[in-house]
Amino acid sequence: MAVFSQAHRAESLAARIALTIIQNGNASTASKTSAARQQGLPVLQASLLIRLRNSNGDECTVGALSEAMQLTPPTISDSLKALVRKGCLTRKKSSEDGRVVHFRCSPKGKRLAELLAGWANPIEESISGLEKDQQISLMGTLTHLLRDQVAGGYSPSEAMCASCEYFEPISWDKHRYHCNRRDIPLTPVSINTDCSGHHPYYNGRE
């Protein structure tokens, strides 16, 4: 309850920061939901469409999408079927395994995905208005916070350094990190958010 207690927040800067981060997350979710509603889609279908639009082809099956989005296969399957019925996706059986179906955006689905993806633009524009030093510091701080969330069990749906086994923080304060897979130093500017070498960080969990 501490973060949600006004008395505690009056005393604790950390609690006020935590609440501000929570409110930023809520605002993002509200923007995404609103964009999906404007196009007549539930938010999960909108997320799937954006994901499939940006996929390089390796995340186009029920299994891969349910793993990436941490949702059950039946939940993903139902939404994919609904998108097929709406003419936003096409489906094709795998040539290697007839039990596996690959989903792709149709031309209608691609157009819709472009419109939907715009929900995040105001966030980027707001950050673009910050000085470069502020952006670097923000990236370092948010990476630190996200790494702590990952260590606690959260798995981001993107292949980011913060959730990678090979990511080694050298100094959080000085924003110095190392990629143990590629053996290269990393900074907030070079931190990867879409890495082909990413391997999930389990922090001792099964």
| Sites of contact with ligand SF4 (CB under 6 A) | 161, 164, 166-167, 179, 181-182, 192, 195, 197-198
For ligand SF4, the closer of residues 60 and 161 by Cβ is 161
For ligand SF4, the closer of residues 37 and 182 by Cβ is 182
Q: How far apart are CA 94 and CA 74, in angstroms?
A: 19
Q: Return phi, psi of residue 91, to 5°.
A: -130, 145
Query: Residue 177 is encoded by which pair of tokens?
Result: 């990190």
Q: How far is the CB of 203 from ligand SF4 (least distance, A)?
A: 14
For ligand SF4, the closer of residues 94 and 190 by Cβ is 190
Q: How far is the CB of 178 from ligand SF4 (least distance, A)?
A: 8
Q: How far is the CB of 48 from ligand SF4 (least distance, A)?
A: 24
For ligand SF4, the closer of residues 89 and 179 by Cβ is 179
**For residue 86, what are the contacts with CB-CB under 8 A and spacing of at least 6?**
none
For ligand SF4, the closer of residues 28 and 166 by Cβ is 166
Q: How far is the CB of 192 from ligand SF4 (least distance, A)?
A: 4
Region of residue 176 (left: phi > 0; alpha: psi -120 to 50; beta: else): beta
Mind giving me the DSSP string for 113-147?
A: HHHHHGGGHHHHHHHHTS-HHHHHHHHHHHHHHHH
Q: How far is the CB of 128 from ligand SF4 (least distance, A)?
A: 23
Output the CA torsion 171→174→175→178 (10° steps): -40
Query: Residue 92 is encoded by which pair of tokens?
Result: 């094709």
Region of residue 175 (left: phi > 0; alpha: psi -120 to 50; beta: else): left
Q: How far is the CB of 172 from ligand SF4 (least distance, A)?
A: 15
For ligand SF4, the closer of residues 101 and 166 by Cβ is 166
AA identity, residue 110: K
* Angle of helix 73-85 versus helix 62-69 axis, rounded to 10: 120
